[in-house]
Every structure is written in structure tokens, then in C-alpha cells.
């Protein structure tokens, strides 16, 4: 079964998987985004601070697709202290489009302690028609409660870090988002592969991948889908992108999801222990070096 769009609290529908352009260098961004669009990605995720909106815009232009056939998210990142209205106009210009589907506050700290005031500005640019939907990113439950106390428009999404090694601490936020009809978008879901290989999550992920005859990265993205999150991922490699798009056809059982969650929860400790050991090892090495220097002077 291919991916089904998610229904947002403002009645609009967002494609369930997006291609992100963070860290893609300018000189290859148009090519990589173009490749993703050609393969079937109809949802692009960028940001003011990624500094490649122009190149993403060029890929949109070269795709030849009608504007309505692409979902484009960008974010206000507070670059050069520009306010959301100034920034959204610049993003529209760079992307070469006349509206943005979804505009996000990139991080609560960018509001400099004024979440309600910043959200009011987001509501104003939404009312002015620059963007069709507005949302947030990296907001905690407390940040959202502060925002909702004075909001006249609810955020449609909260784009958050979502991978098995943070699932234990993130589950209460996911529950709150569901209660509030705010859709989670998950990023960096492939962390177990990209920066924590060898951790406890590998075992259940590899076992499930073998059983279903799919790749480990597909299992992790299917896990995010099972958490009812929009997937935001990326790759420069065609075969990986094709694999990501096939994730809509992968259904994990409740037991699969639990096995990954449980391993992730163990991994939080595993990671802490690893960090403590590495600090201890540094102290030991420093003590050894000092000892050697003192001894060699004697």
C-alpha cells in the first residue's frame, strides 16, 4: 500500500514522506533535489538557514511540475535577526514560488523568549497569504502550551527529532501532539545507522529487515511511520531514495515496534555509559601522561 497523505488540523493534506535539503552543498543541491523529485518525492523540506533555497527553487523550476503537485516546507531560522515576514518574502523569492505550503518556526530558542509574539507574526503572514499552513519545530510540550495559550491558529505540525534512542523521552510529547491534533514530523530517524552503529537497536532492526527482505533504513523509517509521524529524510543515492519511497508498503507488527522501542530505551543508557567511559578514559590518559612527564623529569 503506498503512503497515504496525513490530514492536518487546518483541513490540508501533507504527503507522508519529505525529502530534506539540510547540509546539501549549493553546487549539488539542484541535482540532488531534482533527482528526488524525478523519483517521486512530492514533498520538499528546507529552511532559511540551510542556505540552499535558491538551488531547491531551481530544481522545482526544472521539474516542470505544476505548483499544486509539490508540497514545499521551509522554516524561519532567525538568520541575520530578520523577522518572519521579511524572511518569508525572501524565501519565496529564492524558491521562485508564490506561496509556501508550510512555514515553521525552526526552533523555540530563535524566538528569544517570546513564543507568543513570534507566533502572532506567523499568524499574520499566514493571513496575508504568503503561506498556506503554519507550524513549529523542536518545540517541547511546555513551549506548545505557551504558544497555544494565545494562539488564534493552531500549529499544524511539530517537526521533531525522532529515532529509537530518544523514543522513551519523546513518547509523552507524541501523546500530547495527538491530543492536540498536531501532526509530528520526524527527522534524523536514521541516527542508529548514521551515528550510533553497533548500538542495541541494530539487532531488532536487522532481524526485522531480514524477515521482511528490506533494508535496515527502511525498517527505521517504517518505525517512524508506525509512530504516525510524517517522515523527513534525505539521501544523495538513487537506490536509497527508491527504498525510502517503498516504505509505505512496509507494515511493522506491534511486536516489531515494541522490540525497537525497548532496544532504543536500553540504548539511552548504553549511550550514557559509553559517554561516561569515554570521559573516564580521557582522564586516565591525561593522568598517565602527567605521571609519565613527572617520572621522566625525576
Ligand X SMILES: OCCc1c[nH]c2ccccc12
Ligand Y SMILES: NC(=O)c1ccc[n+]([C@@H]2O[C@H](COP(=O)([O-])OP(=O)(O)OC[C@H]3O[C@@H](n4cnc5c(N)ncnc54)[C@H](O)[C@@H]3O)[C@@H](O)[C@H]2O)c1
Q: Interface residues with ligand Y (CB under 6 A)? A: 20-22, 45, 106, 137-138, 159, 187-191, 193-194, 216-217, 232-235, 240
Determine which residue in the list 43, 106, 196, 215 makes contact with ligand X, applying CB under 6 A: 106
Residue 190 interacts with which of ligand Y, ligand X, none, CB < 5 to 8 Å by class: ligand Y
Select from ligand Y, ligand X, none the partner in contact with residue 189, using the beta carbon and a kind-dependent cut-off of 5 to 8 Å.
ligand Y
Cell 593522568 locates to: 287
- Residue 226, judged by CB atoms within 10 A of its CB (0-12, 13-18, 19+), counts as middle
Among 107, 126, 225, 227, binds ligand X (CB under 6 A): 107
All cell numbers assigned to 137 = 519545530
Q: How many CA atoms lie within 13 A of 144 on its CB side?
A: 26
When CB distances are held under 5 to 8 angstroms depending on the partner's kind, the choice from ligand X, ligand Y, none that residue 77 binds is: ligand X
Of 254, 249, 197, the C-alpha closest to 222 is 249
Residue nearest to ligand Y (CB): 20
CB 94 within 8 A of CB 68: no
* 50 flagged as catalytic: yes
Which phi and psi angles does 14 have, rounded to 5°? -110, 135
d(CA 135, CA 123): 10
**Which one, of 285, 234, 169, lies nearest residue 17 by Cα?**
234
Which of 3, 5, 12, 22 is the binder for ligand X (CB under 6 A)? 22
Q: Which does 217 bind (CB under 5 to 8 A by kind): ligand X, ligand Y, none?
A: ligand Y
As a whole number of angstroms, the distance between CA 67 and CA 57 comes to 11
Least distance to ligand X from the beta carbon of 221, Å? 18
Q: 126 labelled as ligand-binding? A: no
247 vs 259 by CB, closer to ligand Y: 247
Q: Which of 121, 196 has the CB closer to ligand Y?
A: 196
Which residues face 44 on adjacent strands? 19, 72
**Least CB distance to ligand Y at residue 194 (A):** 5
Q: How far is the CB of 235 from ligand Y (least distance, A)?
A: 4
Place of cell 530558542: 109
CB of 22 to ligand X, least distance (A): 5
How many other C-beta atoms lie within 10 A of the C-beta of residue 182? Answer: 22
In the complex, the smallest distance separating the C-beta of residue 119 from ligand X, rounded to whole angstroms, is 16
Q: Which is nearer to ligand Y, 193 or 259 (CB)?
A: 193
For residue 43, the SS3 value is strand
Q: Distance between CA atoms of 169 and 75, rounded to whole angstroms?
A: 25
Kindly state the cell numbers that stand for 123.
499568524
The grid coordinates of residue 35 equal 533527482
Catalytic residue among 50, 103, 165, 187: 50
Instruction: Single out the residue of 3, 9, 31, 49 in contact with ligand X (rule: CB under 6 A).
Output: 49
**Residue number, 252 or 291, with CB nearest to ligand Y:** 252
* Total residues interacting with ligand X, rule: CB under 6 A: 6
Site map (CB under 6 A) of ligand X, residues 73-92, x = contact: ----x---------------
Q: For residue 44, which of 6, 74, 11 has the smallest C-alpha distance?
A: 74
Q: How far is the CB of 263 from ligand Y (least distance, A)?
A: 17
Q: Are 167 and 264 a contacting pair, CB within 8 Å?
A: yes
Just list the catalytic residues.
Answer: 50
In the complex, the residues that contact ligand X under the rule CB under 6 A are 22, 47, 49, 77, 106-107
Q: Binding site for substrate: what residues are annotated?
A: 106
Amino acid at each position: 500500500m503506498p503512503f497515504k497523505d496525513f490530514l492536518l488540523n487546518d483541513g490540508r493534506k501533507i504527503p507522508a514522506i519529505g525529502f530534506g535539503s539540510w547540509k546539501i552543498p549549493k553546487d549539488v543541491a539542484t541535482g540532488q533535489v531534482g533527482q528526488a523529485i524525478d523519483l517521486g518525492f512530492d514533498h520538499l523540506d528546507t529552511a532559511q538557514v540551510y542556505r540552499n533555497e535558491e538551488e531547491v527553487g531551481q530544481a522545482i523550476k526544472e521539474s516542470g511540475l505544476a505548483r499544486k503537485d509539490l508540497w514545499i516546507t521551509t522554516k524561519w531560522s532567525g538568520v541575520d535577526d530578520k523577522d518572519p515576514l521579511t524572511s518569508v518574502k525572501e524565501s519565496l523569492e529564492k524558491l521562485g514560488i508564490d506561496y509556501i505550503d508550510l512555514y515553521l518556526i525552526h526552533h523555540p530558542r530563535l524566538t528569544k523568549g517570546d513564543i507568543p509574539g513570534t507566533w502572532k507574526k506567523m499568524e499574520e503572514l499566514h493571513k496575508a497569504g504568503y503561506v498556506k499552513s503554519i507550524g513549529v519545530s523542536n518545540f517541547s510540550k511546555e513551549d506548545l502550551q505557551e504558544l497555544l495559550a494565545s494562539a488564534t491558529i493552531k500549529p499544524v505540525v511539530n517537526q521533531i527529532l525522532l529515532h529509537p534512542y530518544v523514543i522513551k523521552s519523546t513518547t509523552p510529547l507524541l501523546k500530547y501532539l495527538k491530543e492536540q491534533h498536531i501532526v509530528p514530523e520526524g527527522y534524523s530517524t536514521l541516527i542508529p545507522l548514521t551515528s550510533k552503529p553497533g548500538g542495541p537497536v541494530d539487532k531488532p532492526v536487522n532481524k526485522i529487515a531480514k524477515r521482511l527482505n528490506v533494508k535496515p533504513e527502511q525498517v527505521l523509517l517504517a518505525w517512524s511511520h508506525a509512530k504516525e509521524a510524517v517522515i523527513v529524510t534525505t539521501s544523495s543515492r538513487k537506490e536509497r531514495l527508491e527504498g525510502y519511497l517503498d516504505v509505505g508498503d512496509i507494515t511493522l507488527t506491534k511486536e516489531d515496534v515494541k522490540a525497537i522501542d525497548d532496544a532504543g530505551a536500553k540504548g539511552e543508557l548504553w549511550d550514557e555509559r559509553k559517554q561516561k567511559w569515554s570521559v573516564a578514559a580521557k582522564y586516565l590518559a591525561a593522568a598517565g601522561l602527567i605521571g609519565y612527564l613527572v617520572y621522566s623529569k625525576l
